[in-house]
Chains A and B, each alone.
Chain A
Amino acid sequence: EAQVTQNPRYLITVTGKKLTVTCSQNMNHEYMSWYRQDPGLGLRQIYYSMNVEVTDKGDVPEGYKVSRKEKRNFPLILESPSPNQTSLYFCASSRNSPGLVLSEQFFGPGTRLTVL
């Protein structure tokens, strides 16, 4: 089954404790992206990657890191989480840059992160 998986699905942590949210896709997609979704603010892009070893900042990259060492994986790293990073996080993948014709973006199930 074609899918995007994220782990963990739920995480409660404390300020300053480094964490990683994993993302994996099995569709051989080149483009992967991380979003955060907050009430009243909608979906905002954190980082994206157009291919292996190619990453770039989205709209809200502060406090986050990413890496793309393999095509299928795109982990999101919070080196020193803070309470304002409490949010619902989505990983997404698409064959090419989303918005291009026939480049549907597939979303993972989400990771709900709480930073105390």
Chain B
Amino acid sequence: QKEVEQDPGPLSVPEGAIVSLNCTYSNSAFQYFMWYRQYSRKGPELLMYTYSSGNKEDGRFTAQVDKSSKYISLFIRDSQPSDSATYLCAMSARSGGSNYKLTFGKGTLLTVNP
């Protein structure tokens, strides 16, 4: 079983839809959970960051973490064409000394159609 599983999609939705993106993980040592957004021909950029179970909201985006189920989600409300991108989940755990190792999901390609 891979450490982080993410459905690659692609996912295509109409403008205004609620989008749900998900990742599961197997490593209980993961402490911090992130979502990155990557536009075509660009590097990833940090979108959301959480470190505890529960919900964190930022505008139209909500990140949800369920550590007991080893499951994280990203919800996008009122999706816009500008949200079309690849979304990568990422998780980190201590890997020795003061170093934390980041493990990425494979990414989900989202297209929001006008």
Q: Does B71 contact A (CB under 8 A)?
A: no
Is B43 a contact partner of A97 (Cβ separation < 8 A)? no
Given A107-B43, A109-B43: A98 and B88 interface contact (C-beta under 8 Å): no
Is B46 a contact partner of A104 (Cβ separation < 8 A)? yes
Mostly, the A contact residues are strand
Mostly, the B contact residues are strand
List which B16-60 residues lie within 8 A (CB) of chain A: 31-32, 34, 41-46, 49, 51
Is A107 a contact partner of B101 (Cβ separation < 8 A)? no
Count: A-B pairs, CB below 8 Å: 60
Q: Chain B interface: which size bin?
A: 20 to 34
How many residues on chain A are close to B (CB under 8 Å)? Answer: 25
Q: Mark B79-103, 1 if CB is under 8 A from A, else 0.
A: 0000000001001110000111110
- B contact set with A: CB distance below 8 Å: 6, 8, 31-32, 34, 41-46, 49, 51, 88, 91-93, 98-102, 104-107
